[in-house]
């Protein structure tokens, strides 16, 4: 099916369906939908893999939530409820962790989708795509750690330098002063930050 606007759909041709399946497979994308009447998940094999679930296992929405990392469950539920309530035009997007049902493996996943509604505003379909975001998330954490390490090194090197050093943002507000400069001013570090100079 494809959306033609105002909640109406038309059937896809076999060629369109094949191209979509090939594109999803090529991009390593999973396809998901929530069966709103039965409160179950309709997942392709890639989505099942992202949750460490076997091919034939039927999954309820509550089962799927149980395989989400405990620290992420509330946010995932809140985002799904918001989409089904029509907030943000029904769009849903979440990056969160899963814990494999069978393999126990921690994975980061990125889910995007949308809820569709009938003329009375009731949700009739809710689905989208999913991707493994584990590598991207690990790279982001390494980058953040590297920046933090550089910041720590910078502060250690400059804190006891014999000359006064400072950093400011693009508006000229002070964001950092070393100990030497703070000592010269006779003011508290906290009072010098921002526009305190």
Report the largest interatomic distance among the alpha carbons of the chain, rounded to a whole angstrom: 77
Per-residue model confidence (pLDDT) at position 147: 81
CB atoms within 10 A of CB 124: 13
Per-residue model confidence (pLDDT) at position 34: 93
Per-residue model confidence (pLDDT) at position 49: 87
Residue 29 and residue 129 in contact, taking contact as beta carbons nearer than 8 Å: yes
Cα 183 to Cα 27, 36, 187: the distances in Å are 57, 65, 7
Q: Which domains are assigned to the chain?
A: 2-138 (3.30.450.20), 160-197 (no CATH)
Q: How far is CA 80 from the centre of its chain?
A: 13
d(CA 54, CA 44): 11
As given in the structure block, the two tokens for residue 81 are: 């409820």
Global confidence as pTM: 0.65
Contacts of 142 (CB under 8 A, 6+ apart): none
Per-residue model confidence (pLDDT) at position 9: 56
- Over its length of 197 residues, how does the chain's per-residue pLDDT go in tens digits? 444 444 455 677 888 878 877 877 777 788 999 999 999 999 988 888 888 887 777 788 998 999 999 999 999 999 999 999 999 999 999 999 999 888 889 999 999 999 999 999 999 999 999 999 887 777 777 777 888 877 877 777 777 778 777 778 888 888 887 888 778 887 887 777 776 55
Report the phi/psi class of residue 104: left, alpha or beta, with left for phi > 0 and alpha for psi in -120 to 50: left
Closest to 64 (Cα-Cα) out of 74, 51, 75, 55: 51
pLDDT digits (tens, 9 = 90+) for 22-38: 877 777 788 999 999 99
Cα 26 to Cα 16, 23, 166: the distances in Å are 15, 5, 50
């Amino acid at each position: 099916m494809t959306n033609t606007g105002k909640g109406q759909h038309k059937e896809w041709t076999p060629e369109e369906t094949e191209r979509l399946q090939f594109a999803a497979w090529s991009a390593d994308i999973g396809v998901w939908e929530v069966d709103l009447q039965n409160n179950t998940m309709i997942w392709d094999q890639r989505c099942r893999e992202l949750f460490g679930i076997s091919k034939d296992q039927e999954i309820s929405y509550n089962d799927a939530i149980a395989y989400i990392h405990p620290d992420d469950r509330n946010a995932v539920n809140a985002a799904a409820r918001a989409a089904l309530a029509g907030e943000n035009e029904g769009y849903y997007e979440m990056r969160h962790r899963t814990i494999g049902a069978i393999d126990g493996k921690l994975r980061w996943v990125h889910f995007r989708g949308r809820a569709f509604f009938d003329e009375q505003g009731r949700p009739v379909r809710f689905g989208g795509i999913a991707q493994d975001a584990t590598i991207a998330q690990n790279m982001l954490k390494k980058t953040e750690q590297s920046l933090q390490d550089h910041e720590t090194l910078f502060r250690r090197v400059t804190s006891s330098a014999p000359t006064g050093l400072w950093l400011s943002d693009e508006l000229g507000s002070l964001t950092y002063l070393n100990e030497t400069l703070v000592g010269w001013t006779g003011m508290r570090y906290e009072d010098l930050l921002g526009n305190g100079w």
